[in-house]
Amino acid sequence: MTNRFFLFLAITLLFSCGPKATTNKATKRPNILFIMSDDHAYQAISAYSDHLIQTPNIDRIADEGMLFTNACVTNSICAPSRAVILTGKHSHLNGKIDNMFQFDTTQVTFPQILQDNGYQTAMFGKLHFGNNPKGFDQFKILPGQGTYYNPDFITKDSGRINVEGYTTDIITDMTLNWLEEDRSEEDPFLLMYLHKAPHREWLPAKRHYTEYINKTFPEPETLFDDYEGRGSAARESEMNLLTHMNWAGDSKIPPAVMDELDIPPTAHWDKGAYKREVERQTPSQKADWDKIYDPMIEDFKKNYPNMSQEEKMRWRYQRYMQDYLGSIAAVDEGVGKVLDYLDENGLKENTIVVYTSDQGFYLGEHGWFDKRFIYNESFKTPLMVRWPNVITPSTTNTQMVQNLDFAQTFLEIAGITPPNDMQGESLIPLMKGETENFRDAVYYHYYEYPSVHMVKRHYAFVNEDYKLVHFYYDVDEWELYDRKKDKNEMTNVYDDPAYASVVTDLKERLRKMRAYYKDSPELDQMYIDKYQDLKRWDKK
Ligand code: SGN
Ligand code: CA
């Protein structure tokens, strides 16, 4: 009897002392930490390429897990990508085709299903749905796009709040705080840690802007692309660094200096964006900022009158990279802190960590910033996953996985059968190194037109060898890229007789793929009609 009592006491003590996670029994369903940043190009993650920036903390996820080198999105724009992630359905079925319509909250999302099945759920950072997320025990989300400094948050329990400080760090602190204070030890969790950075207007933290404003970055090969090899969509889009990037909002030339130099605003919100972001800083934050940005502005004032168009383009690119990459530095540090927390609190083994972005981004390739197009830099998105004991560390997967696949993957990880109308494929076999029987081509459909950046509506079939794209609505143009021969996608070979049979074959595959995913000309038209009722672009 006494022995049994001591055994009982020993076991009780074993499970009641030490850090929270010691009770995280091996049999417990895995936790999911989903980290997503906004507009983070894979070209700006050193696990993919270190020519622009070192991101040692984000890279840790790939070093200790799997790097996906051909991950892509179904619709390269913010809120639609998030809707695809949460619902596991393409935009034409979940209804969130662009950033303008509100998300349809009658859609079933994977966090709701996880919550119904005993997961603790929390979301911190950017959602951008126009309404609040369902299925979360706790959330603190940025209204709309959010701001880089002194952000407002919409919270589940205390309405709208304002927090002084740097947004990336605040979102990281909220995430860490939830892990430490609010997480219960009993149930597994889904934690969505969603950065606003490095979305436009790219304001780095004080501890990073000095370093980055003094750097010079290598230019992409296609910085001076004249769009000759393609159709009207590339030529007529409005994402060129020289002609469409804002001088005040983006390049941080104060409105008064623009007036002094007689520089007209690029977009009508050019100066407004500067006020909204740079002047949102407190007087003390702004004084620190001015110390570092003023010399750059003085330099610009001296040089601008004599700069050629080519020099202006080069200057724009460097200015862009300094702020864009500078704002990634804090994201990388934040990811490091959260990984450290997991590792130091016994949560590493039983937590799947995903790092991704809502889409890729142009870092001067084709002379562009922004995304939307199906061309590689915005079609592809970073993706890496750490899952100890399942994924072999430092492995690479080259298959065509999509943001469409997350919902099913996470549900299956939790031992839940996904609803039949989800359209992705579970990534679990790939994570285990089983690569057979996975899809060999993907479907893509972009809608937000006419709108900011003027990227025409298009849908496409993509496999490892080819990309067949149909631009429609106010044009009827096709493009075909030979992905193996033309890495930079500079030449549309759709009309090249050598590709005639490829075109015939791929058009048929595209037709079947649209039918398979339940997309159709009727739906295309429905979304055109709905969009026109809104007249949103005219109202702007
Ligand atoms: C804003 C940006 C655009 C950007 C969209 C969508 N302009 O309108 O450059 O494409 O957001 O971005 S800004 O001057 O207002 O920043 S998304 O990530 O939300 O899709
Ligand atoms: Ca985005």
Could you read off the pLDDT of 59-111 as tens digits, one per residue? 999 999 999 999 999 999 999 999 999 999 999 999 999 999 899 999 999 99
DSSP character string of 214-258 = T---PPPTTTT---TTS-HHHHH-S-BTTTTS-TTTTT---HHHH
Q: Which ligand is nearest to the CA of 128?
A: 1
Q: How many CA atoms lie within 13 A of 55 on its CB side?
A: 31
Q: With CA atoms as reference, report the closest residue to 481 among 512, 453, 513, 444.
A: 444
Share the mean pLDDT of the chain: 94
| CATH assignment at residue 494 | 3.30.1120
Sequential DSSP letters for 32-69: EEEEEESS--GGGSTTT--SS---HHHHHHHHTSEEES
Indicate whether 18 belongs to any domain: no
Q: Examine the domain organization and report whether 169 and 61 are in the same domain.
A: yes
- Per-residue pLDDT band at 537 (split at 50, 70, 90): low
* Residue 125 maps to a domain: yes
Contact 74, 402 (CB under 8 A): yes
Q: Which of 22-31, 362-371, 457-466 has the lowest mean pLDDT?
A: 22-31
Cα 146 to middle of ligand 2, angstroms: 12
One domain for residues 169 and 52: yes
Read off the pLDDT of residues 452-509 as tens digits, 9 standing for 90 and up: 999 999 999 999 999 999 999 999 999 999 999 999 999 999 999 999 999 999 999 9
Atom of ligand 1 nearest to the CA of 145: 19
- All residues with CB under 5 Å from ion ligand 2: 38-39, 78, 358
Q: How confident is the model at residue 535 (pLDDT cuts 50, 70, 90)?
A: low
Distance (Å) from CA 320 to ligand 1 centroid = 15
CA of 200 to the centre of ligand 1 (A): 7
CA 141/CA 157 separation, integer angstroms = 12
Q: Which atom of ligand 1 is nearest to the CA of 453?
A: 10
Q: Are residues 194 and 54 in the same domain?
A: yes
Judge if 98 and 192 occupy the same domain.
Answer: yes
Same domain, residue pair 489 and 466: yes
In this prediction, residue 531 carries a pLDDT of: 78
Ligand 2 centroid to 42 CA: how many Å? 13
270, 288, 321 - which closes a domain: 321
Q: Do 60 and 165 fall within a single domain?
A: yes
235 shares a domain with 312 = yes
352 and 500 housed in the same domain: no
Residue 85 included in any domain:
yes
Task: Report which bound ligand comes closest to the CA of 203.
Answer: 1
Same-domain pairing of 181 and 250? no
Q: Which atom of ligand 1 is nearest to the CA of 359?
A: 18
Regarding whether 49 and 92 lie in a shared domain, the answer is yes
CB burial of 389-421 (b: ≥16 within 10 Å; e: otherwise) equals ebbeeeeebebbbbbbbbbbbbbebbebebeee
Residue 249 Cβ inside 6 Å of ligand 1? The answer reads yes
Query: Is 4 a member of any domain?
Result: no
> Of all protein residues, whose CA lies closest to atom 20 belonging to ligand 1?
78
Q: What does R_g of the chain's alpha carbons equal in angstroms? A: 24
DSSP SS3 for 375: coil
Question: Does the beta carbon of 128 sit less than 6 angstroms from any atom of ligand 1?
Answer: yes
pLDDT of residue 536: 57
pLDDT at 14: 44
Tens of pLDDT, residues 348-365: 999 999 999 999 999 999
Ligand nearest to the CA of 41: 2
Proximal ligand: closest to the CA of 37: 2
477 plus 408 within the same structural domain: no
Distance 274 CA to ligand 1 centre (A): 14
Burial of residue 384 (number of CB atoms within 10 Å: 0-12, 13-18, 19+): buried
- Position 66 scores a pLDDT of 98
Residue 538 has pLDDT above 60, yes or no: no
Residue 442 lies in a domain: no
* pLDDT beyond 70 at 6: no
Specify whether 107 is located in the same domain as 248: no
**Ligand 1 pocket mutation pick from 127, 145, 368 by most atoms within 8 angstroms of CB:** 145
Chain-centre distance of CA 225, in angstroms?
25
Residue 44 alpha carbon to ligand 2 centre in Å:
15
Strands 351-357 and 458-463: unpaired
Does a structural domain hold residue 42? Answer: yes
From 195, 200, 448, 539, mutation site for ligand 1 pocket: most ligand atoms within 8 A of C-beta: 200
| pTM, 2 dp | 0.94
Among 419, 434, 449, the domain-final residue is 434
CATH number at residue 122: 3.40.720.10
Pocket lining: 100 vs ligand 1, CB cutoff 6 Å: no
Residue 10 has what pLDDT?
A: 46
Residue with the smallest CA separation from ligand 1 atom 2 is: 200
Residue 13 lies in a domain: no
Q: How confident is the model at residue 532 (pLDDT cuts 50, 70, 90)?
A: confident
pLDDT band at 530 (very low <50, low <70, confident <90, very high): confident
- For ligand 1, say whether the CB of 237 is within 6 Å of any of its atoms: no
User: With a 6 A CB cut-off, is 359 part of the ligand 1 pocket?
Assistant: no
Residue 389, in any domain of the structure: yes
Question: What is the per-residue pLDDT across 205-258, written as a single tens digit (0 to 9) for each?
Answer: 999 999 999 999 999 999 999 999 899 999 999 999 999 999 999 999 999 999
Cβ of 271 less than 6 Å from ligand 1: no
Distance 93 CA to ligand 2 centre (A): 20
Specify the pLDDT at position 27.
Answer: 67
What pLDDT score does 11 carry? 46
Query: Of 278, 303, 321, which residue constitutes the final position of a domain?
Result: 321
- 82 Cα–ligand 2 center, Å: 9
* Cβ 470 under 6 angstroms from ligand 1: no
What's the pLDDT score for residue 25? 46
Which of the listed residues 76, 91, 99, 270 should we mutate to test ligand 1's pocket, taking the one with most ligand atoms within 8 A of CB? 99
Distance CA(172)–CA(183), nearest Å, equals 15
Instruction: For residue 491, give its domain range.
Output: 458-534
Give the number of domains in the chain.
Answer: 3
> How high is the pLDDT of residue 101?
87
Helix, strand, coil in percent for the chain, rounding step 5: 40, 15, 45
